[in-house]
A and B are shown apart, each in its own frame.
Chain A
Amino acid sequence: MLQEEEDLSLTIAHIVQKLKGSRLYSQLERQAWVSLQKPEIKLESLKEDIKEFFRITGWEKKLQNAVYSELTVFPLPRHPAAPPEHLKEPLVYMRKAQGSWEKRILKSLNSMCTELSIPLARKRPVVEQKELLNKWNEMGTDEPDLSLFRPVYAPKDFLEVLINLRNPNYENGDHLNLRTHLGLIQVPLKVKYISELKDYFIELSLNTGQLGIDDATQVPPELFENEHVRLGQKVLAEQDSAAAQQYVRQGSPTALRAELWALILNVSNQPEDLLYYEQLKSNVIQHDLLVDSLIYKDVKLTASNDDYYFVFEDYLYQVLLCFSRDTSVLGHFAYNSASPPKSYIRGKLGMEDYAVFYPPNGVIPFHGFSMYVAPLCFLYHEPSKLYQIFREMYVRFFFRLHSISSHHSGIVSLCFLFETLLQTHLPQLFYHLREIGAQPLRISFKWMVRAFSGYLATDQLLLLWDRILGYNSLEILAVLAAAVFAFRAVNLMEVTSLAAAEAVLADLSTLKVMPLLQIFLFATVT
Chain B
Amino acid sequence: MSRVQVPCHIKGAVALQVGDVRTVQGRPGVLVIDVTFPTAGPIELQEITFKNYYTAFLSIRVRQPGSPNKWITCLRDYCLMPNPHNEEGAQDYVSLYKHQMLCDMEKVLELRLILRQPSPLWLNFTLEDLQFFQHGPQSPSSAFTKWLSHPAPYEQPALLLQQALPDPDKVSSEVQQMWMLTEMIRANRTTARIGRFDVSCPAASAFSPLALTWPGLTSSVCVTGGWLL
Contact = CB atoms under 8 A, between A and B. Distances in A.
Given A119-B207, A343-B207, 16 more contacts: A2-B97, A81-B95, A86-B91, A96-B219, A108-B223, A110-B210, A114-B209, A114-B210, A120-B212, A160-B227, A169-B122, A170-B122, A171-B123, A283-B201, A349-B208, A358-B212
A81 B214 contact: no
Secondary structure type dominating chain B contacts? loop
A342 B94 CA distance: 33
B121 A170 contact: yes
Nearest to B86: A190
A339 B201 contact: no
A426 B191 CA distance: 49
Contacts of B95: 79-81
A106 B214 contact: yes
A334 to B, nearest CB: 10
B209 A110 contact: yes
A179 interface: yes
A188 B51 contact: no
Interface of B: 49, 51, 53-54, 82-83, 85-88, 90-95, 97, 99-100, 120-125, 129, 131, 188-196, 198, 200-217, 219, 221, 223, 227-229
B37 to A, nearest CB: 20
Nearest to B208: A346
A99 B190 contact: no
A288 B207 CA distance: 12
B206 A279 contact: no
A526 interface: no
B93 A188 contact: no
Interface string A297-335: 000000000000000000000000000010110010000
A20 B195 contact: no
B80 to A, nearest CB: 13
Given A79-B94, A121-B204, A171-B123, A21 B192 contact: yes
Contacts of B131: 81
Contact of B49 (A81, A169, A325): A81
Interface in A15-54: 17-22
Interface stretch (A128-136, A150-158, A237-245, A515-523): A150-158
A347 interface: yes
Secondary structure type dominating chain A contacts? mixed
Interface of A: 2-3, 17-22, 78-82, 86, 90-92, 96, 99-100, 102-104, 106-110, 113-114, 117-123, 150-154, 157, 160, 167-171, 179, 187-190, 272, 275-276, 279, 283, 286-289, 325, 327-328, 331, 339, 341-347, 349, 356, 358, 360, 367, 406
B121 A342 contact: no
A183 B87 CA distance: 18
Contact of B87 (A91, A120, A168, A275): A91
Contacts of A287: 201, 203-204
A404 to B, nearest CB: 13
22 contacts: A17-B189, A17-B191, A20-B190, A80-B95, A82-B93, A91-B87, A106-B212, A119-B204, A119-B209, A120-B207, A120-B212, A151-B228, A169-B125, A170-B122, A170-B123, A189-B88, A279-B200, A283-B200, A283-B201, A331-B193, A349-B211, A406-B87
